[in-house]
Structure 1
């Protein structure tokens, strides 16, 4: 009839606080660390110098990158300004009616003409065809100067084929006629060879010395 009361939970015993123990400061002596510190001054100095050089090289590289970037930006800005000025000039010309604008404006006569580019017309050249002859002691040369037309196919002669054949025949005749004249002129104007003069003074002197020695030997024999 009566309910049993709930059992009371027992609280855990309070934890005991640990007493702080005052530890004595201790200095440990390490002989290897001491030796490395005392003998590593030069090594650490070289490491600091190397690190400083690396930092300077990295800073110089970064400065070059920044300078190139700034130069590109300046060039880009200049190009944009130039394009903008050209577009403004074209718009002003289109509004004045000199050229057809972007909105389909017409020129002064009211007609929109399509520009097909420059016409490839051959330029009229003056005829400079002539021949010149050069005569030397040993050579006979004929030089022919003629005008040519420059086109996409290459260089073409301005003279017809008949004239070229006639000129070639005339050049052959002139060359054949000039050869005997050249040989005769060469024989006429050729310098005469001088005759070589042999000097016998040395041989005469040697002969005289030999005869004197021979006479001296005969005198000695006779005595």
Structure 2
């Protein structure tokens, strides 16, 4: 499979979610995103207004995370976090679902949790999108399937493999499973531990349409 550098860059969420990030780090992140024309930068909610200022007019979206990284905050808190993020300039919101509820197969809880964030995001900006992080490293196959189906039912735009803060990240097998479950219309984002161009191409071949990575510059630089 042949993919150009520019097309690949347009599939990458250039990510910095470390708690020790400072303004200089965000400035660098956004400058790199402008230069390489990444799809988005992904930052913690505190940095959304600043990143939006840095990227104004660039065509690069601001993505943020809610309920991050554990997914165990209340639905009200997640929805409120999402509202504020979109008001401050985020056009993409990556939410962590309620992992414990998935493991207990409490479909009603998981569905309501996701749906509340999707509705909150859409109400603030109809073009904004919601991605659901299912944190695959904690789930078995049946639970991954349930999580994907509920995310689709709730109206989310993407399912995403991982936060990058759990004991495991994206795998080709998980991406392929997620794509098989959500079908061709919904997005799949592979994230967590992706550091090389080879990994990225394998994830895309398995069905990922978006890649979350902190090593985006190195990945593009390694492309032939």
Give me the TM-score of the superposition, normalised by structure 2.
Answer: 0.15
Greater strand proportion: 2
Q: Which has the higher contact order (CA 8 A, sep 6+)?
A: 2
Structure with greater Cα Rg:
1
